[in-house]
């Protein structure tokens, strides 16, 4: 099932990306010979749409549009062919055609994130815009520290804390406003007193027993857990798209920083997931709920957008860089050199994909 969901998600994202290239090309009167799902060799032709062959190819990861004049082989074109050739269009039009895929992935993610805000999203109390309140809230465990009393007691991320109790006190979370979990523990249980928690997990109640330990601050006791009061937040149409835009910008920034850290070696390549790793992540997101799957799809779409902006041969960013260089030089670069560079870049990309796929498989073994 995970593989089926992954193929559907990837297919949608690739379609959106290539649709951006396709529509901008059509807008400027450029001929598009093929709209391919996957990479060649070609399996079969699905159909033809206004002169464009829609094809399904054997290598399932990715897709492409074959735009006339995108790869200049140096052959002479007739005047009629030049009218529908990409490289014979103004460079600002070439730029928009190359940038169209990235733009569509960003807009698609923005729409998905905005839709989540309109349908209702679990968010921390205090994050609501002015005029919006949470009807029902829950105290949810967000993380559990390793080798902590919480881990030893069996507390898990995602547990909903319903009640605290000890020999002397009993606190119902529904009746108590708990904004800061750590301060609450220190105020209610200032010493190493045993604490009982009633938590809701998988629709059943569990009892967890904890013994706080002195933390990094002398005299302060902790159980090694982070918990936030969460509630469902629904926004109006305009506010949803506003906060969807803020989230989209924030994700793009974080993804770009992550790519830069990877390039500079600040983070290990072991943290990079390939197709196999993404299959698992998509499956995990779908198990949590449809809303989480939609959110994960939005983040994948933004990852695809940022990745394609990297100025590397065979990626959209590499082609955009060539357009800028040609604009500065006011002449076209040698097409044979460009084609050779793109060919090498494509081989390198396939090699990197195989490498991260191997890395994913070794993690599972």
Buried b (16+ CB within 10 A) or exposed e, 93-118: bbbbbbbbbbebbbebbbebbbbbbe
Question: Cβ distance 64 to 56 under 8 Å?
Answer: no
Place of tokens 């933004």: 302
> What tokens appear for 149 in the block?
């009393």
Question: Cβ distance 34 to 14 under 8 Å?
Answer: no
- Total count of residues recorded for the chain: 365
268: left (phi over 0), alpha (psi -120 to 50) or beta: beta
> What tokens appear for 229 in the block?
């009061």
Q: How far apart are CA 22 and CA 36, in angstroms?
A: 11
> What tokens appear for 182 in the block?
């750590």
Q: How far apart are CA 183 and CA 310, in angstroms?
A: 45
> What tokens appear for 340 in the block?
């050779």
> What tokens appear for 114 in the block?
């905005």
Give the distance between the most distant pair of CA atoms in the chain.
91
Relative to beta strand 204-210, strand 195-201 is antiparallel
> Which positions are annotated as active-site residues?
18
Which residue in 320, 275, 284 sits closest to 101, CA to CA?
Answer: 320
> What tokens appear for 34 in the block?
């093929």
């Amino acid at each position: 099932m995970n593989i089926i969901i992954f193929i559907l998600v990837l297919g949608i994202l690739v379609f959106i990306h290539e649709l951006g290239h396709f529509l901008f090309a059509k807008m400027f009167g450029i001929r598009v010979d093929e709209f391919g799902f996957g990479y060649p060799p070609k399996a079969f032709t699905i159909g033809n749409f206004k002169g464009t062959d829609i094809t399904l190819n054997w290598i399932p990861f990715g897709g492409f549009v074959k735009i006339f004049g995108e790869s200049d082989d140096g052959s002479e074109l007739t005047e009629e062919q030049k009218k529908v050739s990409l490289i014979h269009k103004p460079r600002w039009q070439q730029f928009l055609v190359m940038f169209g895929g990235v733009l569509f992935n960003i807009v698609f993610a923005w729409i998905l994130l905005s839709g989540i805000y309109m349908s209702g999203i679990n968010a921390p109390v205090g994050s609501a815009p002015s005029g919006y309140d949470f009807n029902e809230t829950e105290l949810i465990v967000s993380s559990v520290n390793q080798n902590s009393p919480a881990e030893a007691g069996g507390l898990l991320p995602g547990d909903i804390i319903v009640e605290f109790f000890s020999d002397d006190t009993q606190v119902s979370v529904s009746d108590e406003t708990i904004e800061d979990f750590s301060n609450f523990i220190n105020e209610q249980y200032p010493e190493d007193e045993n604490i009982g928690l009633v938590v809701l997990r998988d629709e059943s109640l569990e009892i967890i027993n904890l013994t706080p330990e002195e933390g990094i601050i002398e005299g302060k006791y902790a159980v090694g857990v982070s918990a936030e009061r969460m509630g469902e937040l629904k926004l109006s149409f305009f506010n949803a798209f506003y906060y969807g835009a803020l989230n989209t910008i924030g994700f793009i920034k974080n993804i770009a920083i992550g790519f830069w850290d990877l390039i500079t070696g600040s983070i290990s390549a072991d943290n990079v997931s390939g197709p196999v790793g993404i299959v698992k992540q998509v499956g995990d997101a779908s198990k949590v709920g449809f809303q989480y799957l939609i959110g994960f799809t939005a983040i994948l779409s933004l990852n695809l957008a940022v990745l394609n902006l990297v100025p590397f041969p065979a990626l959209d960013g590499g082609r955009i860089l060539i357009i800028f260089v040609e604009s500065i030089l006011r002449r076209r670069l040698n097409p044979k050199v460009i084609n050779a560079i793109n060919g090498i870049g494509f081989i390198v990309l396939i090699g990197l994909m195989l490498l991260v796929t191997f890395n994913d498989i070794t993690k599972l073994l």
